[in-house]
């Protein structure tokens, strides 16, 4: 009976082997096809990331451009409404306008009266015969009391004939009636030139549109062929209200019929949208070429396996020994297939690598053959080397059975990466003594970068990019302790924007945010040393921490900050007599080693000096004489 069952098993064995060969071929083909599909998806995903990053950059560029235009228009309208539009004022304005055209983003600046006649412009043309009352933006400002900046449709310039994008604001008489229009224009070609810097392929594109679906600018459009096109009937705009403000979008272009993958993003500040696209065929072309080559190899390999399997099945009865080899090969295949994606190493007592798993090529860029016999700590960053060596020595000496730590490891091509290593001791089977360490290494770079990004966000002010109050308080305590140890002075400047509430109420919160960002840039420029810290202390109040700086140096830096803000010449009609944005500063210097108070005394002294500067008429710097605690009533 046993012999009969054995014979039956041997009879069926060729069928089982044939089934296995067929299954292996199908599995290889299926896995290869799945891998190619995943590779295709990865290529598309990478292209999506590229166009997403490009769209973010282009939206920021558009916001910055129109923020500059908006600032010019606000200042120009305020000047006209304050000085009037008489001949003398217009003559001065004609001299003033070219000074505002300081950026290559601005094509021209124009002022029209209530009838559309040209009063002033940066263009060297004869005004007498020019009238813009037929322009759509002029009629909208004339018919609507809205004082906001209007970004209009692209039009042909009457001065130069090129396509321009218009941004305009209404000018009022003192009684609130319509007095005219202030206009700033931007060449559509400026955006075309800027978009040309980015490589999106021969058929890729970057486009700027308004929220009505009108094309404002498009890359590779040197002749203005696409400017002004109405795309409001495109699917993206037909489903406008149901779509998010930014998303990946696949579509067939209504302009050239090319199938594209894109990322669109609407501006959060202006009625604009940027669409960055790549041609799907161009994105997938390298993958298709490589996929054909790889699949040819896979098909060839599958055919070889099928032929070998066929001969194995035919000779299975005569060559039973092949069964053992086949089983060993299958076991080896399963072992390789089930290998961990982490890098596994075996380290001897002499700290040399005895075994390295194949995944090392992916994680650190070296093959196992290149690593075998080398020192286990050869690629560790010098700053982490001592800590890693101490830990491994403790494991070899039996002070611990396992350990885990994060350190920097050198990658062959990427430089230093962050890695997490888990170590366990191994013991000899005959003596039980420690004979080495097994280490499992994992790439933690992405997690570390995310942790660093979150830590940065926790200490940075979102509006200005300066340190926030929390970070300032921590650094102040650290620098106070350091100055006490080193017997060095520590200085602090508190800066407050004069009449900022009136500025915010008069010009709006966007202008107020722009004012705070401008002050933040000034402070960043003055924080020249690595130890200096510029921070947003709260609201419109800022702080500049100056370690190893005496009172004279503190006062000098404070005066530079005050003068730099005045040189920005940001209009502030509610801040007489200068009618510009100014700041008041309070400075204090202390010797922590000579006082018993803590760092709060330095803040209190600078705050008293700031109050003195405010009480003394603003737009000035006041220095505190000494650091003393607040009086009880004032506190």
Q: Is the pLDDT of residue 5 over 70?
A: no
The candidate with the shortest Cα–Cα distance to 252, out of 240, 275, 266, 234, is: 234
The pLDDT value given to residue 317: 62
The pLDDT value given to residue 535: 92
* Tens-place pLDDT, residues 152-204: 888 887 767 788 899 999 999 988 899 999 999 888 888 888 888 888 888 88
Distance CA 68, CA 185 (A): 12
Q: Is the pLDDT of residue 632 over 60?
A: no
Retrieve residue 298's tokens: 């896979």
Whether residue 274 contacts residue 59, with contact meaning beta carbons closer than 8 Å, is answered with: yes
Q: Is the pLDDT of residue 3 over 60?
A: no
14-23, 317-326, 340-349, 582-591: segment of lowest average pLDDT? 317-326
User: What pairing do the DSSP bridges indicate for beta strands 178-187 and 215-218?
Assistant: unpaired
Name the maximum alpha-carbon separation found in the chain: 122
Residue 574 buriedness (CB in 10 A; 0-12 / 13-18 / 19+): middle
* Tens-place pLDDT, residues 505-537: 899 989 899 999 998 999 989 888 888 999 998
Distance CA 312, CA 14 (A): 8
> What is the DSSP secondary-structure string of 128-164?
TT-B-TTSHHHHHHHH----S-EE---EE-TTT-SEE
More confident residue, 254 or 39: 39
Q: What share of the chain is helix, strand, coil (3-state, %, to 5)?
A: 45, 25, 30
Residues in the chain: 635
Q: Is the pLDDT of residue 558 over 90?
A: yes
222-226, 330-334, 384-388, 593-597: segment of lowest average pLDDT? 330-334
Whether residue 194 contacts residue 207, with contact meaning beta carbons closer than 8 Å, is answered with: no
Retrieve residue 65's tokens: 């451009």
The candidate with the shortest Cα–Cα distance to 520, out of 500, 499, 540, is: 540
Arithmetic mean of pLDDT, 78-101 = 81
Other CB atoms within 10 Å distance of the CB of residue 409: 25
What are residue 436's phi and psi, to 5 degrees?
165, -170
Distance CA 446, CA 320 (A): 52
**Cis peptide upstream of residue 577 (ω within 30 degrees of 0):** yes
* Tens-place pLDDT, residues 352-404: 888 888 878 777 788 888 888 888 788 888 888 888 888 888 888 888 888 88
Whether residue 412 contacts residue 364, with contact meaning beta carbons closer than 8 Å, is answered with: yes
At 279, which helix (H) or strand (E)? strand 272-279
10-14, 26-30, 207-211, 417-421: segment of lowest average pLDDT? 10-14
The pLDDT value given to residue 320: 55
Location of structure tokens 């069928």: 15
Other CB atoms within 10 Å distance of the CB of residue 190: 18
Mean pLDDT of the chain: 83
Residue 560 buriedness (CB in 10 A; 0-12 / 13-18 / 19+): middle
Whether residue 121 contacts residue 132, with contact meaning beta carbons closer than 8 Å, is answered with: no
The candidate with the shortest Cα–Cα distance to 165, out of 125, 224, 220, is: 224
Q: Is the pLDDT of residue 6 over 80?
A: no
The candidate with the shortest Cα–Cα distance to 363, out of 338, 390, 345, is: 345
Distance CA 523, CA 564 (A): 9
* Tens-place pLDDT, residues 279-289: 888 888 888 89
Distance CA 263, CA 274 (A): 8
Q: Is the pLDDT of residue 339 over 70?
A: no
240-244, 338-342, 460-464, 489-493: segment of lowest average pLDDT? 338-342
* Domains in the chain with CATH codes: 2-41+301-336 (no CATH), 42-300 (3.30.450.20), 343-448 (3.30.450.20), 459-623 (3.30.70.270)
Location of structure tokens 């760092």: 599
* Tens-place pLDDT, residues 433-464: 888 888 888 877 777 766 666 666 667 888 88
User: What pairing do the DSSP bridges indicate for beta strands 583-590 and 621-623?
Assistant: parallel
The pLDDT value given to residue 554: 94
Q: Is the pLDDT of residue 337 over 50?
A: no
The pLDDT value given to residue 118: 87
The pLDDT value given to residue 168: 92
The pLDDT value given to residue 586: 94
* Tens-place pLDDT, residues 565-582: 999 889 988 888 889 999
Retrieve residue 550's tokens: 């005496």
- Please name the residues in contact with 43: beta carbons below 8 A apart, sequence gap of 6 or more: 283, 284, 286, 287
Retrieve residue 91's tokens: 């003559």
User: What pairing do the DSSP bridges indicate for beta strands 434-443 and 490-497?
Assistant: unpaired
Distance CA 225, CA 289 (A): 34
């Amino acid at each position: 009976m046993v012999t009969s069952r054995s014979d039956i098993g041997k009879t069926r064995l060729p069928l089982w082997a044939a089934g296995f060969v067929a299954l292996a071929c199908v599995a290889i083909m299926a896995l290869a096809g799945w891998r190619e599909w995943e590779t295709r998806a990865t290529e598309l995903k990478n292209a999506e990331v590229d166009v997403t990053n490009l769209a973010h950059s282009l939206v920021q560029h558009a916001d910055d451009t129109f923020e500059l235009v908006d600032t010019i228009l606000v200042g120009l309208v305020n000047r006209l409404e304050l000085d009037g539009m008489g001949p003398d004022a217009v003559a001065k304005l004609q001299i003033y306008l070219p000074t505002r055209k300081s950026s290559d983003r601005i094509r021209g600046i124009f002022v029209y009266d209530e009838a559309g006649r040209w009063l002033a412009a940066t263009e060297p043309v004869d005004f007498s015969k020019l009238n813009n009352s037929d322009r759509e933006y002029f009629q909208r400002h004339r018919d609507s009391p809205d004082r906001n900046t209007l970004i209009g449709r692209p039009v042909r310039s009457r001065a130069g004939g090129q396509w321009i994008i218009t941004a305009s604001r209404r000018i009022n008489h003192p009684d609130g009636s319509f007095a005219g229009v202030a206009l700033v224009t931007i060449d559509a070609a400026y955006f075309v030139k800027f978009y040309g810097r980015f490589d999106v392929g021969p058929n890729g594109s970057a486009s700027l549109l308004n929220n009505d679906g009108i094309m404002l600018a498009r890359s590779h459009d040197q002749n203005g062929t696409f400017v002004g096109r109405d795309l409001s009937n495109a699917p993206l705009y037909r489903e406008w209200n149901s779509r998010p403000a930014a998303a990946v979008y696949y579509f067939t272009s209504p302009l050239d019929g090319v199938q594209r993958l894109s990322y669109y993003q609407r501006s959060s500040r202006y009625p604009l949208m940027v669409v960055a696209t790549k041609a799907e065929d161009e994105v997938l072309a390298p993958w298709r070429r490589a996929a054909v080559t790889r699949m040819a190899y896979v098909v060839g390999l599958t055919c070889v396996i099928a032929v070998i399997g066929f001969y194995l099945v035919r000779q299975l009865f005569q060559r039973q020994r092949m069964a053992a080899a086949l089983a060993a090969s299958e076991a080896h295949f399963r072992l390789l297939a089930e290998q961990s994606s982490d890098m596994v190493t075996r380290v001897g007592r002499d700290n040399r690598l005895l075994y390295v798993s194949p995944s090392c090529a992916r994680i650190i860029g070296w093959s196992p053959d290149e690593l075998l016999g080398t020192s286990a700590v050869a690629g560790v960053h010098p700053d982490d080397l001592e800590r890693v060596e101490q830990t491994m020595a403790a494991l070899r000496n039996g002070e611990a059975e396992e350990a885990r730590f994060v350190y920097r490891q050198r990658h062959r091509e990427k430089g230093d990466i962050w890695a997490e290593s888990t170590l366990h001791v191994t013991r000899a089977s005959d003596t039980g003594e420690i004979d080495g360490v097994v280490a499992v290494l994992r790439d933690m770079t992405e997690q570390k970068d995310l942790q660093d990004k979150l830590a940065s966000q926790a200490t940075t002010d979102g509006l200005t990019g300066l340190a926030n109050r929390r970070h300032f308080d921590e650094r102040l305590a650290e620098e106070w302790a350091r100055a006490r140890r080193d017997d060095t002075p520590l200085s602090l400047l508190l800066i407050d924007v004069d009449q900022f509430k009136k500025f915010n109420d008069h010009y709006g919160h966007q202008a107020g945010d722009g004012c705070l960002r401008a002050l933040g840039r000034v402070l960043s420029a003055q924080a020249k040393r690595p130890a200096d810290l510029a921070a947003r202390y709260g609201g419109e109040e800022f702080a500049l921490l100056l370690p190893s700086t005496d009172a004279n140096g503190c006062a000098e830096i404070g005066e530079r900050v005050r003068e730099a803000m005045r040189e920005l010449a940001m209009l502030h009609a509610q801040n007489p007599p200068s009618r510009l944005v100014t700041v008041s500063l309070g400075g204090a210097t202390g010797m922590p080693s000579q006082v018993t108070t803590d760092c709060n005394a330095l803040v209190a002294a600078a705050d008293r000096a700031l109050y003195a500067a405010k009480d003394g008429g603003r737009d000035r710097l006041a220095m505190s004489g000494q650091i003393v605690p607040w009086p009880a009533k004032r506190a």
